[in-house]
Each structure stands twice: as C-alpha cells, then as structure tokens.
Amino acid sequence: MAHYSGKTVFVTGASSGIGEAMVRNLASSPCTIFIGARSTDKLESLKNELETNHVKIHAIPMDLSDSKSLVNAFNELSRRTDRLDLLINNGGISQRGLAKDTEFSVVNRIMQVNFLGTIEWTTHCMPLLLKANKAHIIAISSVVGEYGFPLRSAYAASKHALKGYFQSMQLEPDSPSVSIVSPGRITTNISINALNSDGKKHGEMDAGQAGGVSAEKAAEKILRRAAQRKNNIFIGSGEIVLLYISRYLPPLYRRIAKNISPN
C-alpha cells in the first residue's frame, strides 16, 4: 500500500494468518519490514519469498510469553534500525473452553501472550517509535474485546485488557497514534491453534472460522483504515451487529450469544 512507502514497520505474529497477510500487503511498496514470531522457519521462507531490492525484510525470532526472548528480539531490532514508523501488535492465541473447566495456567498463558507480552514488546519498542515522525501503532484486538463470548473467557479478558490499554494511550499527549482493530471471524489457523481447557491445542478448523472473512481482505482493510489513522476498525458482518446489540440491548445480546455456535 502506497501510504507505507519508505516506512519501517514491525509486525508481530507475522508467521501466519492476518499477520502474514499484512506483511504480503506491505511488501507491495518499498519499505522495511521486521517480522516477528516463534516459527523462524516460516519467517525465513516469507522473507525469502518477498524480499526485493526495494523491500527489506528482517526475521526476528520472538516469544511473547518470554521476557528474555523479547529482550533479545529488541537487541536485534535496535541493531538494525534507529526508528519505527509503525508497530503492528498482531501476535496472539485464542481459546476453546468453558470458564468453569479451564485450568488457571491456560488463563495465565493467554493473558501473557495477548496482553502482558504484547505490552512488554510495545514498551521495548517505544523509544524507536518516539524517534519516528508521527509513529502509529495498530493493536489487533477482537470483537470479543467488546463483549464476552462462550468458550472465550480468558481470550475475551485479554482483548478487553488490550483495548483498555490502547484506548488510554489514544488519549495521552505526545504518544504514537493508535488504531484498535476488532475483527470478527477471519479465516486463519486461529481455532486450530486455540487452547482447550487443559492447555492442549484445539486442533480444529471451526466452521465459523472457515466461513469468515479472508485474511487478505482483513489485512487490506486494516492497513487502509490505519493509514487514515482511524481510532477503531471493525471487521465482520453479523459480529458488528452483535456489537451494537450488546451495547444498547444487553438482555437481547445475552439471549443471542448463548445460542450462537461458539465454534
């Protein structure tokens, strides 16, 4: 996308799904892209596929649940750039388990990756963002950062926390601007990678996920609307209607949400 021409961007969770689709979209313009995730083989093959004379890509191994890994990732990043124009906080994991059955270690892990690790990484990156002219942050939340949803208690909590943090930053002086993105169902591996109540991978492509918006469409909309510095970006159809129902008619929302298939 032309808006990002010449910019230096960091994308977390770049090894698959929405993150990978955003990297592919960004690579259509000359720019420098840092791609972070745990799957270094996937990052390397994305770099090999997309790098050109005009698009510089650096693969940065990082685990959002491991502070030491984030320090190492930041050391690597700061050896290669002295500024960041855009930080895309996208890496995350979802959940498929009833709150009453879910082990605390699962709640802890989801909060660690989606909220605490993401904020830890943002804090590392802040000096580089503050060196850029009009830096921007894209925080990938979820529609369940707006309302609760069955089988998603810890996931919804982590996204509510993320939204609260970045909504506050949006109000603060001299901070990077922030777009908070709330997608509904996007067709990615998110349900396959989601954690069950015992911490094992759900391992299934849920029907709702398979029938969602494509990662490419979602990435295009996120980057286009973030270029306009939109505060809030919503992606989906029925999920967005539910958002308004949850705000203005909570009893109706509860009745509907209890009867939607959570898969």
Q: Does 243 bind ligand NAP (CB under 6 A)?
A: no
Q: Does 153 bind ligand NAP (CB under 6 A)?
A: no
**Cα atoms found within 13 Å of the Cα of residue 194, Cβ hemisphere only:** 26
Please report where in the chains the tokens 């270029």 appear, as a residue.
Answer: 227
Q: Rounded to whole angstroms, how far apart are CA atoms 33 and 59?
A: 9
Q: Rounded to whole angstroms, how far apart are CA atoms 244 and 250?
A: 9
Nearer of residues 64 and 87 to ligand NAP, judged by Cβ: 64
- Annotated catalytic, 155? yes
DSSP assigned state of 100? G
Of 155, 244, 248, 253, the active-site residue reads 155
Min separation Cβ 25 and ligand NAP, Å: 13
List the one residue from 39, 72, 196, 232 that touches ligand NAP (CB under 6 A). 39
Q: Does 77 bind ligand NAP (CB under 6 A)?
A: no
Number of residues that bind ligand NAP (CB under 6 A): 30
User: Which two tokens mark 74?
Assistant: 């930041």
Q: Rounded to whole angstroms, how far apart are CA atoms 209 and 124?
A: 33
Q: Provide the residue count of the chain.
A: 263
Min separation Cβ 130 and ligand NAP, Å: 24
Site string for ligand NAP, 113-142 (x = CB under 6 A): x--------------------------x-x
List the one residue from 4, 8, 10, 18 that touches ligand NAP (CB under 6 A). 18
Are 42 and 18 contacting, i.e. CB atoms less than 8 angstroms apart? no
Q: Rounded to whole angstroms, how far apart are CA atoms 71 and 91?
A: 17
So which residues are the catalytic ones? 155
Contact footprint for ligand NAP (CB under 6 A)? 13-19, 37-39, 62-65, 90-94, 113, 140, 142, 183, 185-186, 188-190, 193, 212
